[in-house]
């Protein structure tokens, strides 16, 4: 099937004679075009945006947005920029349309289709054929509308570029020196441990080879939430790239990049790229990612290791048993053990055995961690683990805000609580371990879906430097208890 290459001329509203020229393939999305424009003009992709195929701003009938709003009555819903491809737009040579960036300042870029050429193969990534000679500043100093009196009181000092670079480097050095304080663990290990983070993040100056280097420019994961990401598939990565992908996942500079840059997302994109490859040989190199307080990579790693199956069980068990790791990193590891049991039925018994053994030693471990493990066993419908779970509840070693109480666990597993069970009648039962009980097989009716496991709400430790925070919250989400 013949594919096409689109050559687009992109001009900022005040400098129409100094455009960028960008080429894209049929499969590239408007979100890909947005990222290419931002790179071409050296801007920070820190605001919302929309494309208007009619060329008229706020024409919802022709709008494709980063995050489409619910339309007003009688209006058409905007399209999704992250999933709308070039070949679906019906573009013709000479067609002009509008790219509007930043709904507050409303920066307008006029886009003209210069040519549409047949091609034997899809271009892997959008290509910038021409950069503007004098690109407009995103935040020009003169744009700040201060009165003379206000200027006299401003604390902000406008520095020359060389001085700005020196200051930025000094701030970066200070930030990295403070890493142990920003990410240090507390006595109960409910925050990441600085020495483990230092061991996880790798110093590397070696360049990333093509086409893997294109992961540095994909930007915000949320623009294309497809699994697998078609942009990554188009790169054609092979087993030969696995070691460099792992290096990118753990790259210190990328993980500590400014939060409004595209490269800060590269480690997560690299982890998603590994979903398409055999990771058996690098599983021990990936598990340290659980040491990081990151909203994206640990959940992706849980799914990745779940697919890996048997080779991941032993290193995951070792990580989960090591009580010097922070509690929520260990909880992600047990979640991966659960995923292996769910995705590989032949490994369910082994997964349940590992998790049950952890609960059998609940009196030696953290109640929050124990609660997460109980949740994993519930998700596995592990009625065979009920005796050790009950013992942990009897010893008051389970955080019931995470796992629910004994009655709720029984109900989630489809079991009828025994009204004669002392645990149901007594609240202060730590010293009253009941005799082990036998449990009948669960009824054939489907059980209630178990709540999703997640971290309890806590003060978020940002992985990115405050100076680079975008206007919209980036790479952060609320953490809450399992129940």
Q: Taking a C-beta distance cutoff of 8 angstroms, is the pair 355, 321 a contact?
A: no
Q: Taking a C-beta distance cutoff of 8 angstroms, is the pair 432, 442 a contact?
A: no
Q: Return the sign of the alpha-carbon dihedral for residues 297, 298, 303, 305.
A: positive
Tokens coding 386: 């009920």
Q: Note the pLDDT of residue 469.
A: 34
Q: Note the pLDDT of residue 460.
A: 31
- What fold does the segment set 3-133 form as a domain? 3.10.290
Q: Taking a C-beta distance cutoff of 8 angstroms, is the pair 280, 312 a contact?
A: no
Q: Name residue 21's beta-bridge partners.
A: 9, 130
How far does Cα 299 stand from its chain's mean position?
Answer: 8
Q: Residues in the chain with pLDDT < 70?
A: 1, 72, 141-188, 225, 425-483
Q: Taking a C-beta distance cutoff of 8 angstroms, is the pair 281, 192 a contact?
A: no
Q: Note the pLDDT of residue 163.
A: 62
Longest dimension (CA), the chain: 84
| Nearest one of 270, 284, 349 to 316, comparing CA atoms | 284
Q: Taking a C-beta distance cutoff of 8 angstroms, is the pair 56, 98 a contact?
A: yes
Q: Taking a C-beta distance cutoff of 8 angstroms, is the pair 54, 97 a contact?
A: yes
Q: Taking a C-beta distance cutoff of 8 angstroms, is the pair 321, 287 a contact?
A: no
Rounded Cα distance between 296 and 474, Å, is 11
Phi and psi at residue 413, in whole multiples of 5°?
-90, 5
| DSSP of 214-251 | GGGG---GGG---SS-HHHHTTT--GGGHHHHHHHHTB
Q: Taking a C-beta distance cutoff of 8 angstroms, is the pair 19, 9 a contact?
A: yes
Rounded Cα distance between 111 and 99, Å, is 7
Residue with tokens 């930007």: 219
Q: Note the pLDDT of residue 448.
A: 33
DSSP state of 30: H
Tokens coding 130: 């021409």
Q: Note the pLDDT of residue 420.
A: 84
Query: Any idea where the domains of the chain sit in the sequence?
Result: 3-133, 194-468
Q: Note the pLDDT of residue 461.
A: 30
Say what the pTM is: 0.57
How far does Cα 464 stand from its chain's mean position?
Answer: 14
Q: Name residue 30's beta-bridge partners.
A: none
């Amino acid at each position: 099937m013949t594919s096409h290459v689109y050559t687009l001329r992109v001009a900022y509203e005040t400098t129409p004679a100094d455009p960028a020229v960008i080429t894209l393939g049929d499969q590239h999305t408007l979100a890909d075009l947005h990222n290419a424009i931002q790179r071409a003009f050296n801007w920070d992709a820190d605001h919302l945006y929309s494309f208007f195929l009619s060329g008229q701003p706020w024409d919802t009938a022709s709008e494709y947005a980063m995050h489409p709003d619910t339309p007003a009555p009688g209006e058409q819903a905007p399209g999704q920029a992250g999933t709308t491809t070039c070949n679906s737009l019906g573009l013709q040579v000479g067609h002009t349309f509008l790219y509007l960036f930043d709904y507050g300042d409303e920066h307008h870029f006029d886009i003209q289709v210069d040519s549409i050429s047949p091609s034997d193969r899809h271009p892997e990534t959008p290509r910038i054929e021409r950069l503007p000679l004098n690109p407009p500043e995103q935040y020009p100093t003169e744009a700040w509308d201060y009165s003379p009196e206000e200027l006299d009181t401003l604390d902000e000092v406008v520095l020359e570029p060389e001085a700005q670079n020196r200051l930025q480097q000094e701030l970066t050095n200070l930030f990295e020196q403070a890493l142990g304080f920003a990410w240090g663990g507390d006595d109960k290990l409910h925050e990441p441990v600085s020495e483990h983070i230092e061991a996880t993040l790798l110093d590397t100056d070696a360049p990333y080879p093509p086409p893997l280097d294109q992961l540095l420019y994909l930007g915000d994961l949320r623009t294309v939430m497809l699994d697998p990401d078609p942009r990554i598939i188009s790169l054609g990565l092979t087993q030969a790239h696995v070691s460099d992908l792992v290096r990118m996942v753990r790259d210190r500079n990328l993980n500590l990049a400014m939060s409004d840059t595209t490269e800060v997302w590269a480690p997560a994109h690299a982890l998603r790229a590994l979903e398409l490859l055999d990771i058996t040989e690098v599983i021990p190199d990936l598990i340290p990612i659980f040491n990081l307080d990151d909203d994206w990579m640990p959940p992706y790693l849980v799914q990745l290791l779940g697919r890996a199956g048997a080779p991941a069980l032993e290193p995951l068990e070792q990580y989960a048993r090591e009580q010097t790791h922070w509690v929520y990193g260990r909880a992600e590891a047990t979640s991966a053990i659960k995923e292996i049991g769910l995705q590989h039925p032949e490994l369910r018994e082994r997964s349940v055995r590992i998790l049950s053994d952890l609960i059998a030693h609940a009196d030696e471990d953290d109640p929050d961690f124990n609660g997460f493990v109980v949740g994993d066993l519930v998700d596995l419908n592990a009625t065979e683990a009920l005796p050790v779970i009950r013992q942990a509840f009897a010893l008051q070693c389970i955080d019931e805000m995470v796992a629910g109480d004994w009655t709720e666990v029984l109900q989630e597993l489809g079991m009828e609580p025994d009204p004669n069970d002392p645990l149901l009648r007594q609240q202060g039962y730590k010293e009253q371990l009941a005799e082990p009980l036998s449990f009948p097989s669960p009824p054939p009716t489907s059980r209630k879906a178990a709540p999703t496991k997640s971290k309890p709400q806590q003060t978020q430790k940002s992985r990115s430097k405050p100076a680079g925070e975008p206007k919209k919250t980036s790479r952060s989400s609320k953490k809450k208890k399992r129940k």
